[in-house]
Amino acid sequence: MVAGAILDSSGTRILLARRARPAELAGLWELPGGKAEVGETDEEALRREVAEELGIDVGVECELRERVALSDELVLIARWAHVIAGEPAAREHQAVRWVGAEELSTMCEQGYLVPADAVWVPELVARLRPA
Ligand code: C5P
């Protein structure tokens, strides 16, 4: 599984998407992404998933430090990315929004993020430029 830490053009905000499913995660915000198919690199998977889910083309950069074991077979990683073309739209999510460092920290503290994604918050906050 690969998630995208997608930065805006100013480097001050990151893109979050609100999950529509499953029931236990619905309404919570995540770094958008999805599962790599057989023969696909995680970079290719991330570009395909955000094109399908959000209608944007992204450039994919290096991996964030933390990795999360979702199950015995499934590891969740995150890669830095930036928008090359398109405006993100919620095609499969309930909503999308851009958030700055302060807002991201508050959302995490208040439990609005999917649990796995909370591990990346310190690195995201450190990397985001102050607005
Ligand atoms: O998006 P999808 O339904 O394919 O994700 C499968 C699982 O991966 C979710 O149920 C969730 O446990 C996990 N996930 C996550 N954080 C993300 C993306 C997916 O924890 N940013």
**What pLDDT does residue 106 have?**
98
**What pLDDT does residue 61 have?**
98
Domain residues for the domain of 36 are 2-127
CATH number at residue 46: 3.90.79.10
> 42 with 77: CB under 8 angstroms?
yes
**H helices then E strands: how many in the chain?**
3, 8
109-124 pLDDT per residue, tens: 999 999 999 999 999 9
> 116 with 1: CB under 8 angstroms?
no
**What pLDDT does residue 3 have?**
98
Could you say which residues of the chain have pLDDT below 50?
none
How many domains does the chain fold into?
1
CA-nearest residue, atom 15 of ligand 1: 116
Burial (CB count within 10 angstroms: exposed 0-12, middle 13-18, buried 19+), residue 115:
exposed
Answer whether 17 contacts ligand 1 (Cβ < 6 A). Answer: no
**What pLDDT does residue 131 have?**
83
